[in-house]
Amino acid sequence: MSEIDQVCDMTDALDVMCPMHVQLDNVGRISHAGPTLAKIFPDQELVGGRFLEVFELMRPHSVTSMDCLLATAGQKLRLKKRSAPETGLKGVLMPAGQGGAVVNLSFGISILDAVRDYSLNAADFAATDLTIEMLYLVEAKSAAMEASRKLNQRLQGAKVAAEEQAYTDTLTGLKNRRALDVILPRLVEECKPFGLLHVDLDFFKEVNDTKGHAAGDVVLQHVARVLVESSRDADVVARVGGDEFVLVINGTIDEEVLGRICQRIIKEVETPVPYKDTMCQVSASVGISIHKGEGEATVEQLMDDADLALYASKHDGRSTFTLYKPELRQKGPLAVGS
């Protein structure tokens, strides 16, 4: 085997065993760079460049020539790339034939940053390098963290779904009384102004008694659609009883505006609802109370005020709305059936 063949064989062996090595000639120029080292200089031709111009030697200091570099043989070298990113490196130099040298480099504790910055993988390191084990650990950790993230997402989704189910009326898809019991105290505590509409259906019992509960369910779903269409996304629509509903009109305390909302609800609710070969028809009575965002009004008081106004509407012939006024309390309780 010729000397050239021996050199080539040695270079090939070093590329496999030390993929981050460089070979230097007798004046400190790079005559060969291992494949991984070449990979971290994608835009720079290493062969032919001066080692000390490609790398800055941090320790030992004051190394400015090949002779000084050879004097560091066997010592631990600390270097960094002169080009961005200025990755830190560790190295050790051993003299080679004809005044040259071989410098084996590694990333040391900067390995994780280097893998990220240069998109390196296990194939870029010697099979026996401890870096391989570290990369496996990093990959295992990343896989475990991703699995944990997905599990947390599923658990969070299940929690949200469970909470949503707990606060949702299954028949209409509206909020339920439990949800309202959470929302109203918060609005009162935060001094938010709102109008509260208590809606009760007229003649709903007759639909249930004559046409059956399935027909009643269809009517309730129709009413739910009317209430949603008569409100905004920021408002709250809840079914709080068999045929009772509450709307919280956020930020609106204008009596005329609330009255127009009630008129629309009453008109739309009266639209006959088809069920099998018959038509179901109900009407709605509404009581209104207002929270101005100030004063000592409690949730219980607001609900009681709206309830009293609702029964005033029932007393006045149904299919109408009434705004609560203190005078209503002077009339005493009103008992009117559905």
- Which element (helix H / strand E) includes 195? strand 194-202
Residue positions counted in the chain: 338
pLDDT tens readout for residues 25-36 = 999 999 999 999
Confidence category of residue 145, pLDDT binned at 50, 70, 90: confident
Average pLDDT of the chain to the nearest whole number: 88
Q: What is the DSSP string of 10-62?
A: HHHHHHHH-TTEEEE-TTSBEEEE-HHHHHT-TTS--TTSBHHHHEEEEESS-
Q: What is the pLDDT of residue 333?
A: 52
Q: Provide the b/e sequence for 78-96 (b: ≥16 CB within 10 Å).
A: ebebeeeeebbbbbbbeeb
H or E element that contains 291: strand 283-291
Which whole number is the average pLDDT over 261-276?
95
Q: What is the largest CA-CA distance in the chain?
A: 119
* Residues 136, 123 share a domain: no
Given this model, what pLDDT does residue 251 score?
A: 94
| pLDDT tens by residue, 217-239 | 999 999 999 999 999 999 999 99
Of 218, 290, 292, 282, give the one whose Cα is nearest residue 261: 290
Q: Which of 102, 100, 98 is nearest to 66 (CA)?
A: 100
Contact 211, 272 (CB under 8 A): no
**pLDDT surpassing 90 at residue 246:** yes
The CATH number assigned to the domain holding 22 equals 3.30.450.260
- Does 239 share its domain with 100? no
Same domain for 159 and 190? no
Same domain, yes or no, for 183 and 43? no
Percent of the chain clearing pLDDT 70 (strictly above): 90
From the list 293, 320, 324, 330, the residue with the least C-alpha distance to 308 is: 324
Cβ atoms 308, 287 nearer than 8 A: yes
Residues 181 and 313 in one domain: yes
Confidence bin at 132 (pLDDT 50/70/90): low
Judgement on whether residues 152 and 260 belong to the same structural domain of the protein: no
Judged against a pLDDT cut of 90, whether residue 156 lies above it is answered with no
CA angle 245/248/249 to nearest 5° reads 130
Q: Is the peptide bond before 274 cis (omega within 30 degrees of 0)?
A: no
The count of structural domains within the chain is 3
Residues 148 and 185 in one domain: no
Residue 18 · residue 104 · CB < 8 Å: yes
Lowest mean pLDDT among 57-61, 62-66, 119-123, 155-159: 155-159
Domain boundaries, position 147: 131-166
- Identify whether residues 76 and 205 lie together within a single domain: no
Residues 97, 185 within the same domain:
no
Are residues 96 and 201 part of one domain?
A: no
Q: Do residues 274 and 149 both lie within one domain?
A: no
pLDDT tier at 130 (50, 70, 90 boundaries)?
Answer: low
Residue 243 in this model has a pLDDT that exceeds 70: yes
Predicted TM-score (pTM) of this structure: 0.56
Residue matched to tokens 């149904």: 318
Mean pLDDT for the stretch of residues 106-135? 78
